[in-house]
Amino acid sequence: MQGRDVSLSATGTEALVGDLRDAVGADAVVTDPVRLEPYSADTYWKALAARAAGTPLGRAEIAVLARSEDDVAATLRLANRHLVPVVPWGGGSGSQGGAVAAGGGVVLDLTGLDKVVEVDERSLTVTAEAGVNGRRLERELNERGLMLPHYPASVDLATVGGYVAARGSGVLSTRYGKIEDLVLSLRVAVPTGELIDTVRVPRHAVGPDLTQLFVGSEGTLGVITRATLQLVPLPAARRFEAVSFPSLEEGIAAIRAALARGYRPSVVRMYDEVATRLSLGPVVGEDLDGVCTLLCFEGDAGVADAEADGVIALAVAHGASVLPRRLGEIWWDRRYDFYRPPHHPELPAIWGTIEAVATYSRIHDVYRAVRAAIDGPYAAEGLTLRVHLSHWYPWGTMIYGRFVVPDGGPDATALHDRIWADGVHAILAAGGVMNDHHGVGLKLAPYMRDQYGPALDTLRRIKESLDPNRIMNPGKLDL
């Protein structure tokens, strides 16, 4: 299904800029290339490398600094009339190129939608506008003794809308769920420019779930302008533990057994042997080996202690040795260090996070397939692959594989693409799903047909009916 080609003509730009200025105010419409530059890359390696080389993957001609939901709706209405692409921009922390204006057009900066609309302490919900920064929201909730239990490592950078649009996950997901489990309802500006509210609560029988249609849609179906999310009280106690398993097989078997018995650790971070030595050890400042696994239990002290004791007993039954608790505590305090120099690479290195999710029946095959596909074959390029498993479900788990090539050389982009193609094909062939929580964006769009098969056409028909002029975030999700 080929869509209409939407591109910005010189007259289209001029006319749209004029109409936008009338609708949202002249100061909210930016056309100065210097002020547009920051929107040319999110944190996708290819976007950063292309920008550094002076050839960005995408350049918006216009930025709209939306200050209200009506500004968002008006922008979509006008862009639709002028057939100009619109790319929502939250915190720009996405790792998949999702917020890059690959086809030019309008970048719709949502950070001005920054109101925490309502905290309902009785129902434990918050309604926040899409541009509210994750850290700021957390502070405001903590002051009331509450928290949004969605703590991505990008909490300082990302927005509420970006959390939902990219279908993200936080460090406490094993207990509290991913963002899709925490969303009650959304307000969305649909591409034709109307604001709609989805059904107020997520458990109902009044038809299919419109809320979840927009979760993970990455700005291709509309713009989320506000979200109502589940909160929890700040836990009275948080108990950390650390264990080392003799193998990944034993480690996975132990956690699978724990979840099946009803234990709900908030953190289960299992580092394979390589990641234990090269990632976890340096960050916590200790020489570690084996399959080191950090655990956290939280809630009322009695609950946390009972769960910790039960899971440790199961781990020991699977051959684990118990490590000092302080490892978990140090990791918690330093958990963002993994994403900063010197632990995080910089150009001219190539890096990426190949993550995948699978049932317990498949996860070992997926792990071995990824290692076989990119570890050995790229040894000559100096590639290292460090894997941890950090989001656990009753039916399966995920692998988070961070690869680094110290210097990509002159053909870095081609090398990057080959590594990704080999990694993703290996995941799919082994029965995994190519991504647990980072979204698709530009990076994984080429593999959507392989992932979905004929079902991709159903998604495309939904897109076609919501966005007949295909203005919303073209090139993303292969829609």
Ligand X SMILES: Cc1cc2nc3c(=O)[nH]c(=O)nc-3n(C[C@H](O)[C@H](O)[C@H](O)COP(=O)(O)OP(=O)(O)OC[C@H]3O[C@@H](n4cnc5c(N)ncnc54)[C@H](O)[C@@H]3O)c2cc1C
Q: Which residues bind ligand X (CB under 6 A)?
A: 42-43, 87-95, 98-99, 110, 130, 152-154, 157-159, 161-163, 165-166, 168-169, 218-219, 223-224, 339, 437-439, 441, 473, 476
Please state the closest distance from residue 111 (CB atom) to ligand X, in A.
Answer: 9
Q: Would you say 90 or 290 has its CB closer to ligand X?
A: 90
Please state the closest distance from residue 223 (CB atom) to ligand X, in A.
Answer: 4
Q: Would you say 189 or 427 has its CB closer to ligand X?
A: 189
Q: Would you say 82 or 150 has its CB closer to ligand X?
A: 150
Q: Give the Cα separation of 398 and 341 in Å (integer).
A: 25
The pair of three-digit structure tokens given for residue 119, joined into one six-digit string: 């905290």
Please state the closest distance from residue 101 (CB atom) to ligand X, in A.
Answer: 9
Q: Give the Cα separation of 101 and 160 in Å (integer).
A: 20
Please state the closest distance from residue 21 (CB atom) to ligand X, in A.
Answer: 22
Q: Would you say 336 or 452 has its CB closer to ligand X?
A: 336
Q: Would you say 299 or 441 has its CB closer to ligand X?
A: 441
Strand-pairing partners, residue 271, are 388
Q: Would you say 187 or 256 has its CB closer to ligand X?
A: 187
Q: What is the SS3 assignment for the chain?
A: CCCCCCCCCHHHHHHHHHHHHHHHCHHHEECCHHHHHHHHCCCCHHHHHHHHCCCCCCCCCEEEECCCHHHHHHHHHHHHHHCCCEEEECCCCCCCCCCCCCCCCEEEECCCCCCEEEEECCCCEEEEECCCEHHHHHHHHHHCCEECCCCCCCCCCCEHHHHHHCCCCCCCHHHHCCHHHHEEEEEEECCCCCEEECCCCCCCCCCCCHHHHHCCCCCCCCEEEEEEEECEECCCEEEEEEEEECCHHHHHHHHHHHHHCCCCCCEEEEECHHHHHHHHHHHHCCCCCCEEEEEEEEECHHHHHHHHHHHHHHHHHCCCEEECCHHHHHHHHCCCHHHCCCCCCCCCCEEEEEEEEEEHHHHHHHHHHHHHHHHCCCHHHCCEEEEEECCECCCEEEEEEEEEECCCCCCHHHHHHHHHHHHHHHHHHCCCECCCCCCCCCCCHHHHHHHHCCHHHHHHHHHHHHCCCCCECCCCCCC
Q: Would you say 290 or 352 has its CB closer to ligand X?
A: 352
Q: Would you say 166 or 448 has its CB closer to ligand X?
A: 166
Q: Would you say 66 or 312 has its CB closer to ligand X?
A: 66
Residue nearest to ligand X (CB): 162
User: Are the beta carbons of 214 and 224 closer than 8 angstroms?
Assistant: yes
Please state the closest distance from residue 173 (CB atom) to ligand X, in A.
Answer: 9
Please state the closest distance from residue 104 (CB atom) to ligand X, in A.
Answer: 14
Q: Give the Cα separation of 313 and 294 in Å (integer).
A: 15
Q: Would you say 148 or 308 has its CB closer to ligand X?
A: 148
Please state the closest distance from residue 87 (CB atom) to ligand X, in A.
Answer: 5
Please state the closest distance from residue 313 (CB atom) to ligand X, in A.
Answer: 30
Q: How far is CA 180 from CA 147, 308, 368, in A?
A: 16, 27, 29
Please state the closest distance from residue 171 (CB atom) to ligand X, in A.
Answer: 6
Please state the closest distance from residue 71 (CB atom) to ligand X, in A.
Answer: 13
**Rounded-to-10 torsion of CA 64, 69, 72, 73:** -150
Q: Would you say 168 or 299 has its CB closer to ligand X?
A: 168
Please state the closest distance from residue 224 (CB atom) to ligand X, in A.
Answer: 4
